[in-house]
Amino acid sequence: MKVFADQLPAALAKQLPSVVIVAGDEPLQHRDACDAVRQAARQAGIEEREVLDVEPNFAWGRLLEAAHSLSLFASRKLLELRLGSQKLGQEGTKVLAEYAEHLSESQDVLLISMGKLEAKQQKTAWFKALDKHGLFVPVWPVDASRLGYWVRDRASVHGLQLDLEAARLLGERTEGNLLAADQELQKLALLNPPGARLNVESIAQGVADSSRFDVFNLADACLNGDPNRASRIVAGLKSEGVEAPIVLWALSRELRTLLSLHQHLDQGQSFEHACKVQKPMIFDKRRPAYQKALQRLPMKRLHKLLLMAQRLDLAIKGAVMVPLWPGLHDLALTMAGGRGPLADAAWTYRVGAQA
């Protein structure tokens, strides 16, 4: 049965189906739909989860093995089959059709996340067999005429209230990119008290035009190893009056993500898998930047940078006397592969001594 992304939570609240297929290329709604299935599974008492990432030469028999294996700790489990942009092929379609034949005997829940499914693919035997037992969630970009309403509704997730005109302005400034709009709402939530009602003037002041520097441009410059651009962006953010906690939040988030990626790689997992399990998931466009950063920043360096970020957080809170914007500049510069005068052992020791 077809259910659109905004209707999925209500459908899952009525009944948790045996199969949910989330298909589409819009990353934010795709992620939210998969998270809604995971949450519904937890609420239904399903605590065990097994993830199968479909990569080139994937052994499709693993899905049937996972479905037939018994757990020592639970009677039900959530199976996640993550295809991304991979094609099913003959073996994949055969295995999914076979899986569908035994659905009535299984208590497990299968979550299939994949790219866009064309109308022709929705008429195939494997799809029809699975669709009979579950939900199909097509994830489509939000139409321009509905974008303002989407932004307004999304603001409530972050504890904000937006006038419709303000929501439309935010949608225009992020050029219809839902992830970018959601990130802007996160920033606004940090700058405003819970439940704040924002109008057009608030959005105009708090949201940068795409032509201006923002903290997400800074994060990209740091990941891509462009110290000159990172330095210019920090200066631009300071001159525009961007709050220091916003800048530190963006840099710290990337540091924690890089540490998590290193840990997954050290455990023998593939880079693709490590990107998929991040919260939020790292999508294809940004993965080359993270690969560059991982090659440039070993675990030891990342831990030192995270310590530096913690010291800057203390400075923001007034617990230590540290030159804040020069510190943010050096943190970004070092992440990007450069080196500032404050990002040395003596500065770190001095900050630690004052803490």
Q: Is the same domain home to 75 and 25? A: yes
Number of domains in the chain: 3
Q: Measured in whole angstroms, how far is the alpha carbon of residue 308 from the centre of its chain?
A: 25
Q: Which of 9, 242, 221, 19 is nearest to 114 (CA)?
A: 19
Spatial neighbors of 125 by CB under 8 A, at least 6 apart, are 93, 97
Of 93, 88, 89, 50, residue with least CA distance to 68: 50
- What pLDDT, on the 0 to 100 scale, is given for residue 348? 47
**121, 139, 157 — which closes off a domain?**
139
pLDDT at residue 352, rounded to an integer: 41
Considering only CA atoms, which of 195, 155, 187 is closest in space to residue 171?
Answer: 155
pLDDT at 349: 35
Burial grade of 169 (CB within 10 A; 0-12, 13-18, 19 or more): buried
Domain co-membership, 292 together with 201: no
Q: In this predicted structure, what is the pLDDT of residue 208?
A: 53
Domain span including residue 66: 5-139
User: For residue 72, what pLDDT is reported?
Assistant: 55
Given 176, 194, 210, the domain boundary residue is 210
Does residue 354 form part of some domain?
no
Averaged over successive runs of 10 residues, the pLDDT of the chain (355 residues) comes to 90 93 91 94 89 89 84 76 88 91 83 90 90 91 86 93 90 80 88 88 66 73 92 87 89 94 93 85 83 94 93 88 90 87 44 38
- The pLDDT assigned to 176 comes to 76
Q: Verify that 135 and 148 share a domain, yes or no.
A: no
Rg, the chain, Cα only: 23
Tell me the residue type at 45: G
- 21 and 46 both lie in a single domain: yes
- Clarify whether residues 150 and 135 are in a common domain: no
Domain boundary pick from 139, 162, 179: 139
In a domain, 355, yes or no: no
